[in-house]
Amino acid sequence: MEGKEVKAEEEKEKEKVLVILGATGSGKSRLAIDLAHHFPAEILNADSMQVYQGLDVLTNKVPFHERKGVPHHLLGTINSNKEFTSKDFRDMAIPIIDSIISRNCLPIIVGGTNYYIQALVSSYLVDDVMEVGDEDLKRSKIPFNVCSFAGRGGNQNKRCTGIVCNESNPFDRLKEIDPVAANRLHPNDVRR
């Protein structure tokens, strides 16, 4: 019984955020703006393309006049010539969320980029593994080519030098290195 009380107490201390996640064109931004008019709230963009400057039409970014005075964060703020990873998003979003909460407002996180949302709610990010620790340890802990899985045609991210991957079946490599993780995943789940 004592464990349940501790968990309940921990849950009470956590601040609340609202996440609106969905497909392109499903009305996420409009819903967030409407909610922000009923609650003291600010919107944090979690769309991997709308974070970039100058892509307003291409990304269907909500125009300034349709924001109805609701503050928006990470919307058109990143130079389009720069890479912006889920780790970058997390590192920028957390202080923004803290700031919104400090103003007694509700952070509404809006977007369709699951990786950005996962970066906020998950304690594990691939980028963290890539940036800390000994190089040999990094190579031994990475089950497959996590850096450039979309590059099955041989294009690999420069950070991946030294990582060996049987791209025809990375699941076999995962079973070799981490059988426990392999047992939790479906063999065709290439995202994880």
Q: Find the domain containing 26 and state its range.
A: 2-121
- Residues 43 and 84 both lie in one domain: yes
Tokens of 24: 């392109």
- The residue from 121, 147, 167 where one domain ends is 121
55 lies in some domain: yes
Alpha-carbon radius of gyration of the chain: 20
Q: Name the pTM for this structure.
A: 0.59
- Residues 131 and 116 both lie in one domain: no
Q: How far apart are CA 97 and CA 77, in angstroms?
A: 16
Element (H, E) at 129: helix 126-131
Q: How far apart are CA 192 and CA 189, in angstroms?
A: 6
- Residues 43 and 27 both lie in one domain: yes
Tokens of 98: 């803290």
| Residue 112 contacts residue 29 (beta carbons within 8 Å) | no
- Residues 104 and 16 both lie in one domain: yes
- Residues 117 and 141 both lie in one domain: no
Tokens of 69: 């005075």
165 lies in some domain: yes
* pLDDT tens series, the chain, 192 aa: 566 665 555 555 677 888 888 887 788 888 888 899 888 999 999 887 777 766 554 455 676 677 677 888 988 787 888 888 888 888 888 899 999 999 999 898 998 778 888 888 775 555 554 444 444 433 433 333 223 223 233 443 333 333 344 445 667 777 887 788 778 877 766 556
- Residues 143 and 82 both lie in one domain: no
- The residue from 101, 121, 141 where one domain ends is 121
- Residues 25 and 115 both lie in one domain: yes
- Residues 136 and 54 both lie in one domain: no
CATH number of the domain encompassing residue 34: 3.40.50.300
Count of domains forming the chain:
2
- Residues 32 and 72 both lie in one domain: yes
189 lies in some domain: no
- Residues 8 and 48 both lie in one domain: yes
- Residues 172 and 145 both lie in one domain: yes
- Residues 104 and 133 both lie in one domain: no
